[in-house]
Amino acid sequence: MQLLRSVLFTTVLFIGTLLYAVVVLSFGWLPSQRLYAIARSWGRLNMWLLAKLCKLTYTVEGKENIPPGAHVSMWKHSSAWETIAQAAVFPPQAWVLKRELMWIPLVGWAVKCLKPIAINRSAGAAAVTQVIDQGKQRLQEGLWILIFPEGTRVAVGESRKYGVSGSLLASKAGCKVIPVAHNAGYYWPRRGWVKKPGNIRVVIGPPIDAAGRDARELNEEVRAWIESTLTTLVPPTHAEAADRSAPATTS
């Protein structure tokens, strides 16, 4: 039954995203911050549908840590869930994403209207420079920057090297970094069709002043906070399973 609910949600998600893309393109002449209201509506609608169809809800802790102004938010990336939820949780943002997404008919064209930073992930230093240059412009326009520092989705319990572009941007732009941890990967697994019922916890960390700081040091502070916070977000059922599978010790 949960599989059927999940397939139904995914079907509605795809169809609804196409319809929202048409709406964004129809109003593409509006400022990106006004267009973001449509993206926020899309995110909130899908979070509501996920709760109704799959019994998967979410709670946000640390909303008070979202400061005024425009800053850089760095999220753990373990599920497709956060790519939807972030639009409902944070102020208007420009997303750092791979340029290939811009090539998707309708959806990619609509995303382009929201002023993302579309990078060639194989470009190395040139991609970092692009994030810094375009990121500064977006911040000056009042848009937050959303970046997944690991660059791609990673399975629950795993971690990849955190890219430095978000920290470097925040350091040079003189803004703050807001780290975000969540446990969505337990309920909506990477490469998984089934959305498991439960409640996803999102934790927004304290703002980290980045102005003039060494980017690698700043990046390590963000990584340490996110990865340590993740250890507190293991759902009880998974924690119990881990305990049962741990080898017995003798005294």
| Cβ atoms 205, 180 nearer than 8 A | yes
Residues 111-115, mean pLDDT to the nearest whole number: 93
Model confidence at 41, pLDDT cuts 50, 70, 90, reads: very high
Is the pLDDT at 250 greater than 80, yes or no? no
Phi, psi (rounded to 5 degrees) for 148: -100, 100
Tens-digit pLDDT profile for residues 51-61: 999 999 999 99
Q: Model pTM greater than 0.85?
A: yes
Is the pLDDT at 248 greater than 70, yes or no? no
Q: What's the mean pLDDT when you consider all of the chain? A: 92
What pLDDT shows up at residue 244? 46
Contacts with 93 (C-beta within 8 Å, 6 or more apart), sequence order: 36, 73, 86, 87, 143, 144, 145, 146
Percent of the chain with pLDDT over 70: 94
Tens-digit pLDDT profile for residues 133-185: 999 999 999 999 999 999 889 999 888 999 999 999 999 999 999 999 999 99
| Cβ atoms 61, 204 nearer than 8 A | yes
Neighbours of 228 (CB within 10 A): 10
The DSSP letter of residue 207 is P
The rounded Cα 144 to chain-centroid distance in angstroms is: 12
Neighbours of 39 (CB within 10 A): 23
Give the C-alpha separation, 204 to 87, whole Å: 14
| Cβ atoms 111, 102 nearer than 8 A | yes
Give the C-alpha separation, 144 to 141, whole Å: 9
Is the pLDDT at 49 greater than 60, yes or no? yes
What pLDDT shows up at residue 239? 59
